[in-house]
Structure 1
Amino acid sequence: MSQKRSLLSETPPGLEQEFENEAVPLSHRHSTRSVSAVWFGFPMILTNAVFGGIIAYNLGFWRSILAILAGNLVLFAYVGALSYLAGNTGLNFAMQARKTFGNRGYIIASAFLSTVVIGWYAFQTGLTGTIVNATFGWNTTWVIVLATVLYTGITFLGVRALSIIGMIAAPMFVILGLVALYFVAQQSDLSQISAYQGTHGGISIGIAMTMVIAGFADSGTMTADFTRWSRQGKSAVVATFSAFPVANVVSLLSGVAIVSAGAGINPAQNGGDFLHLLTGHNALLNLLALLFVFINLGSVCTHCLYNGAVGYSHLFKSKMRLWTVILGLTGGLLAVAGVWSYFLNWLSLLGVAVPPIGAVMIVDLLIMGHIVSSRPERAYRTSAFISWAFGTLCASIAHIWFPDAGEALIGMLAGGIAYGVIQSQTAKKWVAA
């Protein structure tokens, strides 16, 4: 019983307090390098190489670069603004959402995102099993079980562990990506990759931008869970810049290079996955490739699990580590059940419903922040929910009838503008009264 009470209400010996229900005190904030390591290692993943390759396969080399850079510019502005707020206040996503959506309404936004991000964790955990099975022949289910235990254990250690795995995952991705390109260069002329034209079908630049944005729409919106540890808003923005555009562009372009060089296997579906290029040479490289899968996908899984655990711990006034175990095991079961088969639907949900949430919060807390401190607290702030719904509706319309326009960006703009208009009209009524 005492052990259960310790897990629920106390920080285990030797582990850092996570401040699930309060702002991170300045005395406990981390260096810019430490917070940057958390974000920098997150996008440097094999999944991004797959995305980059799919984009290149459809758009060709130069148009894919344009889409990737444009998508990352949007991500930097979006995540950077939310990170700035977190660095200045020390508040996690749920506590920020409380100000915008109300002291009861925030539960809807926070629970939605905390659940969505666990879906992403489950997908990546399942992907670990399928990749190891396809590459090394190991049993998929047992690999997923092993991955679940490893990823849950690392997340349990807290935000410091995310920094460490980021410091390992990012350099490893770059080094093995270069090794893969070295092997490609033995068979192909890399100087010709810029001439790759792609298939000119399937997706447009707008759709490609949405793929880039949607890949980190969930954790990007919840960036405060990471960047609240920054000592100030500016350092939080620097940490964000290390991810968007730097790390995200590097990982996406690795996939672009693989496909443009003709080294991708079934690039329409597998994109720029370069793991097959690392195996079959010698035992050492095979071992490194195996470790790479767990470390690389483990980086994104631990970050997503941390987001979900921080969110649910605040909702239930509990502890992050308890919810890490609960959600880690739940996500593992979903992965065993084959959740990755719904990947495209999940990605569409991220691109449509998530970006308006962050846009509404940016307008409310950053652009109109001077109003927040003086307005009375409410259980539900209707204007925020109307704006979220309007942004989601506009993004859904774009997704169905105007997919080339880029639904993620449309959802952001529509949600943010709608909230600004509603609040401006409300302010005029206050003045008139």
Structure 2
Amino acid sequence: MNSTVDELKVAEDKVDHLLGEEYEHAPVPMAARRSAFSVTMVWVGFPMIITGAMTGSILVLGMGFSRALIAMIIGNLIMLAYVGLLGHLGVKSGMNFGLIASQVFGRKGYVLASGLLSSLLLGWYAVQTGITGALISSTYNLNYVAMTVIAGLLYIGITFVGVRGLHYIGMISAPLFVILGVWVAGHAASTTTWSAIYNYAGNNGVATMSMGVGLTVVIALFIDAGTVTADFNRWAKTPAASFGATFSAFPFANIVAMMVGGVMTAALATPNANPFGADNMFGYMNKMQLGWLSVLAFLFLYINLGSVCSHCLYNASTGWSRITGTHMRLMAVVLGVIGIAIAAGNVWAFFIQWLSLLGIVAPPIGAIIIVDKYITRPEVNTATADWRAPAFIAWAVGSVVAFIVEEVMPGLSTAISAMVVAGIAYWALAALKVRKLQTA
């Protein structure tokens, strides 16, 4: 048994030497940090995806174009602040999310926060892999399971390369999306007027989604990956490079993706459009019935969703490797196989429910870390306890309030409610502790 473990460790060390160390258990040293361009490519290739365009379509169908545009802008500015602050912690310390979370939630307590987010990100990997298989299967009449397995294996390969793999897939995926996305949006817009697009009122002329729900959809789309942003931003050399990379994702890349879907949906005004079926940019390209464009669309789908899947699997693998004391690449293979099995079971169909769950449980984690590291305990750089009760109490309060908001006040944003309430609760608990110490 020991010899097998030793052999596995030797093999992992050889792979790390060949592909580069991923620093799962220690801060990234400055000598290993990557260029501002590289970190930007990692981030810009993440949100600029067809799923973002689908989300833009959902927003426009539910809110109408003008109100959806407002939700996109406000939601992405909130994400810029949220991810920017958390990313700064990564570049300042060189630590990944798990290492930073251990200072806030405790040496043992961080496992709950990191394990939850890593599992949710594994779910995202499965969702996006399933969407790849479903769209390829329905469009080209190919076997769904086979296409899903092929996609999943390709995405595992990208993740296995490490942060370099995310850099390279971003360099290919983002420009390709811009070219094809702008063409699709422009071609669809040419069938009507920009005035008609802007004044599009929603599906069948009816807006059914509130601004609060719209904001939650925008925020929840990347709130989990945004919370573990230190996994990416720890590779930046300077705070400016970290912020620039974050800005390339939120608002730039995310709004570009959402606008492609939103403009296309408003321009075509298809009754009861199904963005997860054929009513998306992938389906639009195939409807042109041009052989070369269909081939390009096929390749584009695998490359584009390969970007988001590899990012999600990287985050999940980094988190679980820290928890289990193993290597990121080993966990990428193990978790990737699990994700493929889940995707083959059609889990992507629960996309909206998934966003709802993320809007409740994920935002409090990042809000608590921000308050802790910037306001209440900025001087603390190590884990001081196994479990830190204030962090878990604030997390529970924020999530419970968000659940109540979703059930009782559906017009408000669960994501923003969870974030704000958890942050205030954590700050209040810290202030109460200080007051007790002063009066003791």
TM band (smaller chain):
over 0.9
Aligned residue in 2 for 1:388: 395
SS in 2 for 1:173: helix
Aligned residue in 2 for 1:28: 32
Of stretches 347-356 and 262-271 in structure 1, the one that deviates more from structure 2 is: 262-271
Q: Letter of the aligned partner of 1:273 in structure 2? A: N
Q: Letter of the aligned partner of 2:393 in structure 1? A: I
**Does structure 1 residue 355 correspond to structure 2 residue 359?**
no
C-alpha displacement at 1:13, in angstroms? Answer: 4.2
Q: Does structure 1 conserve the Cα–Cα contact (< 8 Å) formed by 2:122 and 2:312?
A: yes
C-alpha displacement at 1:127, in angstroms? Answer: 0.6
1:419-430 alignment runs, 5 A limit = 419-430=426-437
Relative to the length of structure 2, the TM-score reads: 0.94
CA distance in 1, matches of 2:16, 2:87: 28
Aligned residue in 2 for 1:312: 320
C-alpha displacement at 1:264, in angstroms? Answer: 5.1
CA distance in 2, matches of 1:257, 1:419: 41
1:258-297 alignment runs, 5 A limit = 258-262=264-268, 266-267=272-273, 270=276, 273-279=280-286, 280-297=288-305
C-alpha displacement at 1:431, in angstroms? Answer: 2.8
Q: Letter of the aligned partner of 2:258 in structure 1? A: L
Q: Deviations for 1:302-359, whole angstroms, at most 9, x for unmatched residues? A: 0000000000111111100000000000000000122123322221110101000000
C-alpha displacement at 1:133, in angstroms? Answer: 1.0
Q: 2:309 aligns with which of 301, 306, 310?
A: 301
C-alpha displacement at 1:412, in angstroms? Answer: 0.2
Aligned residue in 2 for 1:163: 167
**Does structure 1 residue 213 correspond to structure 2 residue 219?**
yes
C-alpha displacement at 1:50, in angstroms? Answer: 0.9
1:9-408 alignment runs, 5 A limit = 9-185=13-189, 187-190=191-194, 192-198=196-202, 199-262=205-268, 266-267=272-273, 270=276, 273-279=280-286, 280-373=288-381, 377-408=384-415
- For structure 1, the residue ranges without an aligned partner over 5 or more in a row are none
C-alpha displacement at 1:370, in angstroms? Answer: 3.1
- For structure 2, the residue ranges without an aligned partner over 5 or more in a row are none
Q: Does structure 1 conserve the Cα–Cα contact (< 8 Å) formed by 2:185 and 2:261?
A: no
CA distance in 1, matches of 2:271, 2:7: 50
Identity rate of aligned residues, in percent? 41
Q: Letter of the aligned partner of 1:317 in structure 2? A: G
Q: Letter of the aligned partner of 1:42 in structure 2? A: F
Q: Deviations for 1:171-216, whole angstroms, at most 9, x for unmatched residues? A: 1111111222343255334453122122343211110110000000
Q: Does structure 1 conserve the Cα–Cα contact (< 8 Å) formed by 2:227 and 2:366?
A: yes
- The verdict on how the C-alpha distance between 1:76 and 1:186 changes in structure 2, with shifts beyond 3 A counting, is closer
Q: Letter of the aligned partner of 1:36 in structure 2? A: T
Q: Does structure 2 conserve the Cα–Cα contact (< 8 Å) formed by 1:184 and 1:263?
A: no
SS in 2 for 1:387: helix
CA distance in 1, matches of 2:272, 2:161: 38
C-alpha displacement at 1:376, in angstroms? Answer: 7.5
Of stretches 234-243 and 156-165 in structure 1, the one that deviates more from structure 2 is: 234-243
Q: Does structure 1 conserve the Cα–Cα contact (< 8 Å) formed by 2:107 and 2:383?
A: no
CA distance in 1, matches of 2:194, 2:284: 15
Q: Does structure 2 conserve the Cα–Cα contact (< 8 Å) formed by 1:84 and 1:234?
A: no
Of stretches 290-299 and 255-264 in structure 1, the one that deviates more from structure 2 is: 255-264
